[in-house]
Structure 1
């Protein structure tokens, strides 16, 4: 039977794996050195494994979302105009997702970090072929993880807007969560994306688990990561770069799949938008849009 440990503590999803050991003394020493709230789990394998989990913030209900205009303006006033526009649209998308989904099931896992939105925009190859630009927009927004939840769903929406900025008549294939077709072709992209970004941030922790003969790590939503399928033995800075490149390639493949499913092969070789063209579309082309229809 595979030896499996949880990435998020099973009773507290805001606590994530920070350290593992076969030694009780070592795990207790790490706990004493931690400045965060901690929890421990001992996994009763033939050779036991002890895992330390740390939590940095409390999980809040979606009912606590209150991104009013004044609050948001104060948070983004120092961003360049492009970052401000994308931040406003991302918040609108988040609020639409919450409105469509059951609020009791929609949780806020972290603080809103709008400064990361500008970082995402700075890493896009603007003016490259459309699948590349759209995929990189999606990938970099997901990698920076600026919203307290729904970063994948809002990332897909931004990919759609990127395509529409070049072809306003583009019709997105259905990606609603209650659609069986969505689960067939979109969900695998999201699941693999979550695997990549989890390994990207934790290669050394996962290498430590691998050395303890752990086979699988399971994050929330039941997503399992088979450690043998990933290269873990590298410096953490190298892992950040390597897995960011893999994630961008993954999202570019998704953008190409979107265009093919929409039967718009004519857009595969079309030049993608410049940053200004994309921002202009977000400002002027979405004024009357009801974002709830996207979720």
Structure 2
């Protein structure tokens, strides 16, 4: 039987794995030295494993979202124009996602971090072939994780807008949660994306688990990570770059799948937008768009 350890605490999703050991006394010592809230789990394997979970944030309900214009404007004042435009659209998308789903089922896991949007835009190969640009826009917004939730869903929407910015007549295949095609092809891409970004930030912790004989790590939403399928033995900085590249490739593959399902293979080699073309479309091409239709 596989030896499984949880990445997110099963009774408190805002607590994530920080350290593991075969020594209970070591875990208790680390807990004592921790500055934040902690939880412990002892896994009763033949050789027990003890895991320390920590949290820096509190989970909030979606009805606590209050991104009014003044608050948002103040937060974005130091961003360049392109960052402000993308941030406003991301917030609108988040609010639309909450509006479509039941508020009590929608949780906020972190604070809004708009400064990370600038980093995301700076890592896109603007003007490269369209699938690459669209995939990198999606990937880098997900990797920077600027929103409190729905970073994957809003990332897919931004991929769509990127394609539309150079092909206004493009019709996006359905990627809605309530559509049966979601389980068929969209969800697997998102699940693999979440595996990659979890490995990217935790290769050292997961290598430690592997050395303790753990086979599987399960994160929230029941997503399992088979540790021997990933290279873990590298410096954490190398993991950040290595798995960022893999994530960009993964999202570029998703962009190509989107174009194939839309029967727009003719767009595979079409040049993607420049940064300014993308920003112009977000600012002026979506003025009357009801973003709820995307969810």
| TM-score of the pair, normalised by structure 2 | 1.00
Q: Which residue of 2 aligns with 1:56?
A: 56
Give the whole-Å Cα distance in 2 for the aligned partners of 1:162 and 1:173: 15
Q: Which residue of 1 aligns with 2:281?
A: 281
Give the whole-Å Cα distance in 2 for the aligned partners of 1:284 and 1:261: 27
Q: Which residue of 2 aligns with 1:210?
A: 210
- C-alpha displacement of 1:292: 0.1
- C-alpha displacement of 1:96: 0.0
Q: Which residue of 1 aligns with 2:18?
A: 18
Give the whole-Å Cα distance in 2 for the aligned partners of 1:147 and 1:183: 24
Give runs of ≥4 in structure 1 deviating > 3 Å: none
Q: Deviations over 1:115-137 (max 9, x none)?
A: 00000000000000000000000
Q: How many residue pairs are counted as aligned between the two chains? A: 295
Q: Which residue of 2 aligns with 1:198?
A: 198
Q: Give the 5 Å matches for 1:133-212.
A: 133-212=133-212
Q: Give the 5 Å matches for 1:28-177.
A: 28-177=28-177
Let me know the Cα RMSD of the aligned residues. Answer: 0.4
Is the partner of 1:186 in helix, strand or coil?
Answer: helix
- C-alpha displacement of 1:51: 0.2
Unmatched segments (≥5 aa) in structure 1: none
Unmatched segments (≥5 aa) in structure 2: none
Give the whole-Å Cα distance in 2 for the aligned partners of 1:182 and 1:261: 13
Q: Deviations over 1:3-62 (max 9, x none)?
A: 001000011100000000000111111111211110000001111100000000110000
- C-alpha displacement of 1:174: 0.3
Is the partner of 2:170 in helix, strand or coil?
Answer: coil
Q: Which residue of 1 aligns with 2:243?
A: 243
Q: Which range is displaced more, 73-82 or 30-39?
A: 30-39
Is the partner of 1:149 in helix, strand or coil?
Answer: coil
Give the whole-Å Cα distance in 1 for the aligned partners of 2:12 and 2:244: 28
Give the whole-Å Cα distance in 2 for the aligned partners of 1:4 and 1:102: 32
- C-alpha displacement of 1:95: 0.1
Give the whole-Å Cα distance in 1 for the aligned partners of 2:155 and 2:239: 22
Is the partner of 2:165 in helix, strand or coil?
Answer: helix
- C-alpha displacement of 1:289: 0.1
Give the whole-Å Cα distance in 2 for the aligned partners of 1:57 and 1:194: 20
Q: Which residue of 1 aligns with 2:227?
A: 227
Give the whole-Å Cα distance in 1 for the aligned partners of 2:87 and 2:204: 32
Give the whole-Å Cα distance in 1 for the aligned partners of 2:191 and 2:100: 21
Q: Deviations over 1:208-258 (max 9, x none)?
A: 000000000000000000000000000000000000000000000000000
